Amino acid sequence: MDLAADRRVRIACDVFAAWSSGDADAPERFFTPDAVLSDTASGRFEGWPAIREFFAAGLARWKGLVLVPDELWVNDHGVAVHYEMSATVSDPAVYGPEYVGRQWHVEVMSYLRFRGDQVCYEVDVHDRGARARSLGLEPWRGAPPQPDPFRPPLPTWE
C-alpha cells in the first residue's frame, strides 16, 4: 500500500472510532464542512450540521453504538469498509419496552471518498430491517448471517 492509501486507511479507522465514541461532535474533524452522508436506511444528509443532527438522533435512540471495521479496500479516491455496527435499544418506542437493554448487530458496507485528508462523501449500505431481525423480531429469509471464516485479520495501526 502506498503512503497516501495508508494514510486514508488510518483516517477511515479514526472516522469509525469517532462514530463509536458516543460524542456527536467527534467525527466532525474528519469531514469537510460540505460533506454528504448517504445512508440507504435513513436518507441523505448534506453538510456537517445535517450529518451531526442525524448522528445525534441515532445516539439518543441507540446506546453504546459501536462500528467495528474488519476489512478495508483502497482505491485512488477513497476507502471501502466492511464492518459490524451494534448498539443497545434504549428507546421503548422503537421496538417496545421488552427490547430495551437488548443489543442488535448489523453488517454494513461503507465507502468514504476523500478530499485531501478529510471525508467529503460517505455512503453506508445496509438493510433497514436487519436490526429488527437481529433481535428476532422479523424472520430471516434463508439462513441468518454467519461470520466469514475466510476473512483475514485486520491490520493493527501503531
Continuous segment of H or E residues that includes residue 52: helix 48-61
Domains in the chain: ranges and CATH: 3-134 (3.10.450.50)
Give me the mean pLDDT over the 60-80 stretch.
93
Q: What is the mean pLDDT of residues 88-111?
A: 93
Spatial separation of the C-alpha atoms in residues 111 and 72, rounded to whole Å? 10
Q: Are 7 and 14 in contact (CB under 8 A)?
A: no
Element (H, E) at 106: strand 103-115
User: How confident is the prediction for the chain on average, in pLDDT?
Assistant: 89
pTM of the model: 0.83
